[in-house]
Structure 1
Amino acid sequence: MKYMLLIYQDELTLSEVDREECYKESTELAHQLKANGQFLSANPLQPTSLATSIRVRDGKQLITDGPFAETREQLGGYYLVDVTDLDEAIGIAARIPLARKGTIEIRPIIEIKGLPTV
């Protein structure tokens, strides 16, 4: 079963040194998951100041700068994993470095037949 592990944190709380250490630990975790056959994808996201949101209402596009909603924590990155069950996904989420400072949301993926593959 595939799960998206969404990493939320206050993007202003990490120093550059902390951010680089987090990237290092996250890369190590990704390699461990790949060795276990669980890794599908992972990436950090650029800051919300570079985000663009779009809404379509009555056939008209409304494009705004920034994230879709005001929150204390922002979506900062993700892991996409293929595991046996939710318990296994929880175990991986607990190992993500930013779980110690932010929140990891675990969401099962709906697999739609006919979508292109990478």
Structure 2
Amino acid sequence: MRFLMLVISDPELDSTEAPVLTIEDWVRETAESGVNLDGDRLEPPSRAKTVRRRGGQLHVTDGPFAETREVIGGFDILECDDMDHAIRVAARHPMATHGTIELRALWPLDL
């Protein structure tokens, strides 16, 4: 099963718990095991564009659509046996202690 792992930072979170691994070690570990298929950091929301089409009109605005203090800082595509396996992988990421990790199973289109 493939999963999208969103890495979310929260600047107001004050965690003193030490992460299990550094980000570099987590990336190396998951890449070498074949679990991490792809991933990267994201530029800050201030550089984002929001795209909407309403009533035949294209609307492009600067920044994120929603106002929030939490920011998606990166993503990974994981290949795991099941959600429990994906949770074990995500739990080792440093942002599990210093932010939030969101996991979503990919839902392929049947074309």
TM range (shorter): 0.7 to 0.9
Answer 1 or 2: which has greater helix percent: 1
Shift of 1:29: 1.3
The letter for the 2-side match of 1:82 is: E
Q: 1:99 aligns with which of 96, 101, 105?
A: 96
Equivalences, count: 105
> How much is the aligned-residue C-alpha RMSD, in angstroms?
2.2
The unaligned stretches of length 5 or more in structure 2 are: 14-18
Normalising by structure 2, we get a TM-score of 0.84
SS in 2 for 1:89: helix
Q: Name the TM-score, length of structure 1 as normaliser.
A: 0.79
Identity of aligned residues (%): 36
2-structure distance, mates of 1:77, 1:48: 11
User: Does the CA-based 8 Å contact 1:2-1:81 persist in structure 2?
Assistant: yes
State the shift of 1:33 in Å. Answer: 1.2
Runs of 4+ in 1 over 3 A off after TM superposition: none
- Does the 8 Å CA contact 2:11/2:69 hold for their aligned counterparts? no
Partner of 1:6: 6
Asked whether the equivalents of residues 51 and 58 of structure 2 are also in contact (C-alpha less than 8 Å), the reply is yes
